[in-house]
């Protein structure tokens, strides 16, 4: 009887112990790795950071030092940054992944790059980790939410190879023209494609008046080798403004609208302009990362260009408008306009969605997934994002009377506080766009977040970028295997764009058709076919999503 009682007591004790352990694990998903939110033993992780210009160390500066200190104090995690060239980041990440040397936390704009290595067993499925550690990641979940966390989740396997950063400002791209040149010629800003062409002709014909001794340097319109981006509003104006979600998705693997209906005719127009001397004749000679096109704009030789919605305001005293003002006076500046009208007379163009920005992922070589998730949680905190974006008061920004934040250029005495990227975007991995403590403060401050430019010009650029803008919907039909199999589709796309612009008018159709054929044969058609089949399998006969 006594033995039975002892056995019963032991059994009850074990049951209570197991129950207590179960309760502890439920409350502490780290299973004892963390005490009061910190690791009991120091952990180490490496984190990717873009290097945009190589002029100052992107991986070793005031901001990275601050992050390292905060992560060590909050979580007992040592952070080392690994710089990756911004303009060749896909190639570099490919090389690092292939060599097993990728940082523990990587990010890229290229989902096919992630998918390629995921299919080879080289990327961590984040879904079980995000579920297990959800209670430890409140800032990450509050900021990204289900939409961004599960943006790329496979609907069948439920795998999550990456989490999508959030765009807090969805403005995408604008057309800019020299306001002072228009004023000198007594012209109004163009409001149609035809008026834009007449403006370019006027710039060319009046080079002596506009540039004096530098008249031979006249470039009515700047284009770059990335035609699909630096002519985007023109291309999109030739597309059907009523394009269906299905058609947009099927051709949407290429975000430069290469295979969309209407793109060829848009490039035919650029070909005409080029042959008429209205576009920079050497644009196709300078590849990714080269600054020649920017340098020519800063020098004052360019009348119009297309780029990111805030492009002429970036980089403080080195911005386009700041440099023009120094050389030619305060009236010399680029202003944003809408002028490329579609067949309905509107300026239909595509903006960003709040999701679909940089994609953060963990290579399988990551041995510290919890520490890495805590880093993403830390970098998603509103206080952390705000500090990294606006920096120190009196050094990086001032507060205006109404409470708005006004960014200022860093003086020589505080040069260490220079930000390697605007608003430290390369460090705020999960946030693209100004995010201050409140939505009201963010909106109030947006126009003041560029040093040494007129806030009115920034505010106008935001209005222009929003006009008639369409945000694409997220289509999730599972993996498109052929997207990871194409043979240098980006290179073939850019080559065709460039060759079609610079060829003779007589050769245009031949050059375009041959380039498109090569692109499609190299994998483009396979992607289109697979996307079409996947859409129809998922959505049936639907042409548009709700």
Q: What is the pLDDT of residues 243-261, one digit of tens each?
A: 999 999 999 988 899 999 9
Q: Are residues 40 and 129 in the same domain?
A: yes
Q: Are residues 261 and 128 in the same domain?
A: no
pLDDT score of 356 = 77
Between CA 391 and CA 385 the distance in angstroms is: 10
Any idea what the CATH number is for the domain that residue 54 is in? 3.40.190.10
Q: Are residues 321 and 177 in the same domain?
A: yes
In a domain, 443, yes or no: no
Reading phi first (left if > 0) and then psi (alpha if -120 to 50, else beta), residue 95 is in alpha
Using the structure block, give the residue that is written with the tokens 């112990």.
Answer: 17
Beta strands in 194-316 (DSSP E): 219-221, 302-308
Check the CA dihedral 473-474-480-485 and report its sign: positive
Closest CA relative to residue 286, chosen from 83, 494, 52: 494
Is there a contact between 351 and 465 (Cβ–Cβ < 8 Å)?
A: yes
Q: Are residues 187 and 330 in the same domain?
A: yes
Q: Are residues 342 and 196 in the same domain?
A: yes
| Residue 363, beta-bridge partner list | 123
CA–centroid distance for 300 within its chain:
27
Token duo for residue 273: 């302009």
Q: Are residues 125 and 156 in the same domain?
A: yes
Reading phi first (left if > 0) and then psi (alpha if -120 to 50, else beta), residue 162 is in beta
Token duo for residue 546: 């709700």
DSSP letter string over 117-144?
A: HHHTT-B---HHHHHHTGGG-HHHHHHH
Q: Are residues 367 and 484 in the same domain?
A: no
Residues 6+ apart with CB under 8 A from 72: 42, 78, 79
- pLDDT tens-digit readout, 367-389: 999 999 999 999 999 999 999 99
In a domain, 100, yes or no: yes
Is there a contact between 500 and 456 (Cβ–Cβ < 8 Å)?
A: no
In a domain, 336, yes or no: yes
- pLDDT tens-digit readout, 305-323: 999 999 999 999 999 999 9
Cβ-count burial 495-520 (b if 16+ within 10 Å, e if not): bbbbbbbbbeeeebeebbeebbebbb
Is there a contact between 221 and 280 (Cβ–Cβ < 8 Å)?
A: yes
In a domain, 29, yes or no: no
User: For the chain, how far is it from start to end, CA to CA, in angstroms?
Assistant: 71
In a domain, 190, yes or no: yes
Token duo for residue 28: 């502490």
DSSP letter string over 500-517?
A: HHHS-TTTHHHHHHHHHH
In a domain, 211, yes or no: yes
pLDDT score of 27 = 67
Q: Are residues 178 and 297 in the same domain?
A: yes
- Per-residue pLDDT of the chain (546 residues), as tens digits, is 333 333 333 333 333 333 333 334 446 898 889 999 999 999 999 999 999 877 789 999 999 999 999 999 999 999 999 999 998 999 999 999 999 999 999 999 999 899 999 999 999 999 999 999 999 999 999 999 999 999 999 999 999 999 999 999 999 999 999 999 999 999 999 999 999 999 999 999 999 999 999 999 999 999 999 999 999 999 999 999 999 999 999 999 888 999 999 999 999 999 999 999 999 999 999 998 899 999 999 999 999 999 999 999 999 999 999 999 999 999 999 999 999 999 999 999 999 988 879 999 999 999 999 999 999 999 999 999 999 999 999 999 999 999 999 999 999 999 999 999 999 999 999 999 999 999 999 999 999 999 999 999 999 999 999 999 999 899 999 999 999 887 899 999 999 999 999 999 999 999 999 999 999 999 999 999 999 999 999 999 999 998
Phi/psi of residue 334, each to 5°? -95, 140
In a domain, 20, yes or no: no
> 3-state class of 84 per DSSP?
strand
Q: Are residues 193 and 67 in the same domain?
A: no
Residue 144 belongs to domain spanning: 36-166+358-383
Check the CA dihedral 106-110-111-117 and report its sign: negative
Between CA 365 and CA 368 the distance in angstroms is: 9
Q: Are residues 294 and 239 in the same domain?
A: yes
pLDDT score of 487 = 82
Token duo for residue 451: 């040093």
Q: Are residues 291 and 225 in the same domain?
A: yes
Phi/psi of residue 51, each to 5°? -110, 110
In a domain, 459, yes or no: no
Report the largest interatomic distance among the alpha carbons of the chain, rounded to a whole angstrom.
Answer: 112
pLDDT score of 89 = 92
Q: Are residues 344 and 487 in the same domain?
A: yes
Beta strands in 8-89 (DSSP E): 34-35, 38-39, 43-51, 77-85
Token duo for residue 60: 């070793």
pTM: 0.89
Using the structure block, give the residue that is written with the tokens 């960014």.
Answer: 407
The percentage of the chain sitting over the pLDDT mark of 70, rounded to a whole number, equals: 95
**What radius of gyration do the chain's Cα atoms show?**
26
Between CA 32 and CA 45 the distance in angstroms is: 19
**Domains of the chain: total:** 2
């Amino acid at each position: 009887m006594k033995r039975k009682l002892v056995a019963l007591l032991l059994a009850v004790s074990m049951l209570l112990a197991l129950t207590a352990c179960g309760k502890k694990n439920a409350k502490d998903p780290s299973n004892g790795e963390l005490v009061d939110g910190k690791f009991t033993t120091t952990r180490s992780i490496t984190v990717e950071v873009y290097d945009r210009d190589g002029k100052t160390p992107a991986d070793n500066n005031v901001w990275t030092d601050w992050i390292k200190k905060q992560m060590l104090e909050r979580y007992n995690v040592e952070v080392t940054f690994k710089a990756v060239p911004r303009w060749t980041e896909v190639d570099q990440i490919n090389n690092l992944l292939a060599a097993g040397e990728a940082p523990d936390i990587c990010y890229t704009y290229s989902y096919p790059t992630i998918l390629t290595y995921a299919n080879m067993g080289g990327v961590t499925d984040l879904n079980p980790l995000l579920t297990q550690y959800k209670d430890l990641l409140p800032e990450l979940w509050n900021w990204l939410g289900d939409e961004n966390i599960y943006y790329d989740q496979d609907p069948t396997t439920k795998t999550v190879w990456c989490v999508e950063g959030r765009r807090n400002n969805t403005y995408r791209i604008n057309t800019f023209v020299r306001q002072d040149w228009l004023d000198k010629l007594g012209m109004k800003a163009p409001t149609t494609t035809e008026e834009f062409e007449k403006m370019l002709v006027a710039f060319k014909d009046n080079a002596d008046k506009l540039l004096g001794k530098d008249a031979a340097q006249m470039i009515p319109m700047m284009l770059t080798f990335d035609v699909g981006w630096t002519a985007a509003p023109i291309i999109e104006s030739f597309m059907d403004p009523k394009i269906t979600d299905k058609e947009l998705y099927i051709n949407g693997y290429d975000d430069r609208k290469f295979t969309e209906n209407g793109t060829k005719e848009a490039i035919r127009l650029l070909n005409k302009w080029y042959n008429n001397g209205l576009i920079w004749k050497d644009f196709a000679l300078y590849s990714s990362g080269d600054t020649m096109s920017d340098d020519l704009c800063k020098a004052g030789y360019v009348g119009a260009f297309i780029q990111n919605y805030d492009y002429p305001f970036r980089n403080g005293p080195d911005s386009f408008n700041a440099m023009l003002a120094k050389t030619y006076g305060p009236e010399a500046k680029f202003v944003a306009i809408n002028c490329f009208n579609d067949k309905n007379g509107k300026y239909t163009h595509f903006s960003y969605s709040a999701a679909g920005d940089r994609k953060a992922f963990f290579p399988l070589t990551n041995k510290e997934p919890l520490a890495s998730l805590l880093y993403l949680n830390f970098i998603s905190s509103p206080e952390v994002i705000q500090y990294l974006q606006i920096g120190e008061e009196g050094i990086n920004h001032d507060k205006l009377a109404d409470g708005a934040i006004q960014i200022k250029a860093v003086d020589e005495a505080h040069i260490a506080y220079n930000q390697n990227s605007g608003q430290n975007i390369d460090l705020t991995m999960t946030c693209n766009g100004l995010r201050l403590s409140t939505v009201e403060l963010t909106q109030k401050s947006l126009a003041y977040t560029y040093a040494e430019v007129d806030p009115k010009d920034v505010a106008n650029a935001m209005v222009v970028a929003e006009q008639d803008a369409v945000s694409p919907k997220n289509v999730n039909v599972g993996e498109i295997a052929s997207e990871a199999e194409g043979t240098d589709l980006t290179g073939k796309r850019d080559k065709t764009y460039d060759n079609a612009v610079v060829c003779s008018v007589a050769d245009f159709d031949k050059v375009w058709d041959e380039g498109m054929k090569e692109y499609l044969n190299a994998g483009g058609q396979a992607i289109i076919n697979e996307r079409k089949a996947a859409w129809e399998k998922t959505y049936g006969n639907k042409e548009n999503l709700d």
